[in-house]
Amino acid sequence: MNCNGGAPSIGVIIPVYNSERWLRTCLDSVVGQTIPFTEIIIINDGSTDKSGIIAEEYVTQYDSVVLINQKNSGAGAARNAGMDMIRTDFFLFLDSDDYLDYRTVEVLKGIVTDMPVDVVYFNGKSFLDEGADEKLYKDDCRRRDSLTQSIVTGREMFAQSYPDSYFPSPCFNLVKREHINRWEIRFYEDRLYFEDNSFAFIVMDRAESVKFLPDILYLRRYRAGSIMTSTMCVRKLQDRAKEYSIICRYIADNMEICKNMVSVLFLQNLMLEVIDYIHVNSYEDDFGNDKSVESFLEAYRCLCSSVDPHECINRGLFIKEKKIVHELSELLKDYSDEYHLFDVDSSHAMGLIDDFYRFVLQRCRLHDSQRKVGIYGAGKHTEGILSLYNFYYGTPKADIYIIQTVKDRDIFMGYPVIPVDEVKESELDQIIVSSFKFHDEMKATLEENANDAAIIDIYDTIIADVFADHQLVFK
């Protein structure tokens, strides 16, 4: 379905379930585009409020709006129904409590008219719903502006964007209908949660040409009571495990993916997330009969024999695996060694650990007697840094100061402690941010107080609090 003299047509698919409070804002942003959508497909997924009535109003007023009413089957089934119905060249998904920038079609049509692409990725912006708890809010839908804006393969885009610019929501991209149909990519319909994880991964990996656009076109609402903000439960764990099983099997069938180091990191993160949730939820009554988690772990372990650990192991995540498996030793009992992606012997494992710690410690430059070094944080992370430095290199030669946000002691591990608001007077050459959980907040504080001192964030690429847990790693 082409329009406007051969320009590609663009449609939108909107699953709706009990969203009467936000639906008009959503639909007004769709019908009010500077260049109109060719098709607007609304799937009323068994709503019990006035959402269906509101949708009918837009069907009456706008010829481009089509309404599908179905019994409640979940977001995956609703999106599949929309994909079966839509006939435009390209389409995007929009959740019914979110809305679009009014120039979305205009901007995206300009891209797909000028260049052949399978997928266009764009940015979003999160906002907190009126009256919602601020703890729900996450600013998590904006990709780095430094991502290439050249046309690349989906696999190349994944390598550039993971982990901090990759998110599996299908709403932040425009996809070519032919691309979806060629590979028969659909959502799994037996999921209440995480139904988009495997869909997004396969859409990206199969794409021969993708384009990143830094424009903010999607506005995502964080609100109480949504699936996105709901707390973890056994059902969530089950659905996450099911989706990750699909991804693992897909990668097993396309093993050339694992030649990409970033894809291996992605695999390990999937594994660690699930094991972490096993740890958290193991007390639940129905957890012991959870076959979906067992299925995921089997799918994950099947990759072990196909991946060369010497070629593409991520040292930081290997240590994270070792830590979590140790914590789960009682639950996993005699099978804990099977829960590593990489089957490495003990000497190679220790070599990986040693290489990793040495690499990070060298960045700290504690060997330079001419430097004044601050370590921000007086806790287990700093204790780990200093203990491991002594283990590998001996006593640090630099002039070291321990920094605290609120000073509650004068000495920590033999080094003087100063409050962060006195850092300016200390004339430090560099400051090591020694926290995994609070490193972003600590860096922001230092930007106000540190003057010209170089700030070193040891956890900027590690995805694990490995210094705080160094004693577990060496057990």
Q: Using alpha carbons only, what angle is made at residue 174 by residues 209 and 150, rounded to the nearest 5 degrees? A: 35
How many whole angstroms separate alpha carbon 86 and alpha carbon 13?
Answer: 8
Determine, yes or no, domain membership for 350. no
d(CA 19, CA 67): 15
Q: Are residues 309 and 390 in the same domain?
A: no
Q: What is the pLDDT at residue 228? A: 45
Q: State how far the Cα of 18 lies from the Cα of 347, in Å rounded to an integer.
A: 57
Using the 3D structure, point to which of 295, 313, 344 is the last residue of a domain: 344
| Full domain range(s) for residue 194 | 10-222
Same structural domain for residues 76 and 204? yes
In which region does residue 184 sit, left (phi positive, over 0), alpha (psi from -120 to 50) or beta (all else)?
A: left
Same domain, 397 and 338: no
CA distances from 225 to 132, 134, 136, 230, 394 (A): 10, 14, 10, 6, 54
Q: Are residues 203 and 253 in the same domain?
A: no
Do 382 and 304 lie in one domain? The reply is no
What are the 10-residue block averages of pLDDT along the chain, 475 residues in total?
Answer: 72 96 97 98 97 98 97 94 98 96 97 95 86 57 82 90 84 97 93 86 95 94 57 67 80 72 68 65 55 61 54 56 62 54 62 78 89 93 93 94 92 94 90 84 85 82 65 64
H or E element that contains 372: strand 372-376
Q: According to the model, what pLDDT value does residue 467 have?
A: 80
Q: Residue 149: give its domain's CATH number.
A: 3.90.550.10
Domain end call among 193, 222, 251: 222
The owner of tokens 């694992």 is: 258
Beta-strand relationship, 39-45 and 90-93: unpaired
| Cα 1 from chain centroid (whole Å) | 34
- Provide the β-strand partners of residue 457: 433
Asked if residue 446 and residue 382 are part of one domain, the reply reads yes
Asked if residue 168 has a cis previous peptide bond (ω within 30° of 0), the answer is: no
Do 66 and 136 lie in one domain? The reply is yes
**Pairwise CA distance, residues 33 & 146, whole Å:** 28
Strand partners, 65: 40
Q: 310 and 179 in one domain? A: no
SS3 for 185-250 is: CCCCCCCCCCCCHHHHHHHHHHCCCEEEEEEEEEEEEECCCCCCCCCCCHHHHHHHHHHHHHHHHH
Amino acid 275: pLDDT: 64
- Residue 229: predicted pLDDT: 39
pLDDT at 247: 83
Domain boundary among 344, 372, 404: 344
Q: How many domains does the chain have?
A: 3
pLDDT per position as a tens digit, 349-379: 677 678 778 888 888 889 999 999 999 999 9
Residue 351 lies in a domain: no
pTM higher than the cut 0.85: no
Alpha-carbon distances of 14 from 27, 100, 187, 275, 280, rounded to whole Å: 9, 12, 15, 34, 34
One domain, residues 411 and 467: yes
> Exposed e or buried b for every residue in 328-362, given b needs 16+ CB within 10 A?
beeebeeebeebbbbebeeeebeebbeebbeebbe
- Predicted local confidence at residue 5, as pLDDT: 52
Closest of 183, 14, 190 to residue 93, by C-alpha: 14
354: in domain: no
- Cβ proximity of 126 and 141 under 8 Å: yes
pLDDT at 98: 95
Let me know if residue 353 belongs to a domain.
no
420 inside domain: yes
pLDDT at residue 3 in the model: 47
Q: Does 182 fall in a domain? A: yes
Q: Does 156 lie in the same domain as 90?
A: yes
241 & 215 share domain: no
Instruction: Tokens for 379, please give them.
Output: 């806790």
> Looking at residue 404, which CATH number applies to its domain?
3.40.50.720
Residue 99 region, left (φ>0) first, then alpha (ψ -120 to 50), else beta?
Answer: beta
